[in-house]
Amino acid sequence: MDVTADLAVLLGEIRACTRCEPELELGARPILQAGTGASVVIIGQAPGRKVHASGVPWDDPSGQRLRQWLGLTSDEFYDPTQVALIPMGFCFPGSTDAGDKPPRPECAPLWHPRLLDLLPERSMTIVIGAYAMKRYVPEAGGTLTETVSRWREFLPGRAVLPHPSPRNRRWLSTNPWFEEDVVPALRELVRSALHPA
């Protein structure tokens, strides 16, 4: 089995997917990044409007904050041989007055199992936001804040984070322990995953 070739074929299938096109405000444009050597897998929510326009995952203020939390340069973050960027929904789902709509529910069950099977080097999965936590940390239960506050329980294989969106400024200001305690530990874990001793 040629994992690299199989992943290339699968990425082509995902990027050509139009299954939800009639439901999408701006049409289908699946956005992700993956390489068979990636040791860190980041499972987020769904591309925002700016990311839909650029076609680059996390190419927005949320991505800037996420890279700062992880202690990664843009070159490291956008290197598919190191980091896979896999959203719960691959396309921009549209927006409401309150913000972006939830990720389309079809994507993760349709594509994630096959995709994750083709990432044999992954040693750490970073799970971002309530939608990803519901699928990838189902044993946590409770609210996002409760789950993130129990972050040590999911290590070393999984790290749980709130969404780094600017809309979450209030959450970050009322939960200062996250940036004081979790972020420094997260940076060390990511560095160790990318550069094992």
pLDDT digits (tens, 9 = 90+) for 82-94: 999 999 999 999 9
Average pLDDT, the chain: 95
pLDDT at 28: 96
Tell me the pTM.
Answer: 0.96
The pLDDT score that the predictor gives to residue 96 is 87
- Tens digit of each residue's pLDDT, the chain (197 residues): 699 999 999 999 999 999 998 899 999 999 999 999 999 999 999 999 999 999 999 999 999 999 999 999 999 999 999 999 999 999 999 998 888 899 999 999 999 999 999 999 999 999 999 999 999 999 988 899 999 999 999 998 999 999 999 989 999 999 999 999 999 999 999 999 999 87
**Closest Cα to residue 131, out of 100, 96, 95, 167?**
100
- The string of pLDDT tens digits covering residues 167-197 is 899 999 999 999 999 999 999 999 999 998 7
Domains defined along the chain, listed by start: 3-194 (3.40.470.10)
Secondary structure (DSSP) of the chain: --HHHHHHHHHHHHHT--TTGGG-TT------B--TT--EEEEES---HHHHHH--TT-SHHHHHHHHHHT--HHHHT-TTTEEEEESSSS---EETTEEPPPPTTHHHHHHHHHHHT-TT--EEEEEHHHHHHHH-TTT-S-HHHHHHTGGGGTTTEEEE----GGGHHHHHH-THIIIIIHHHHHHHHHHHHS--
Alpha carbons 127 and 169: distance in angstroms, whole number: 19
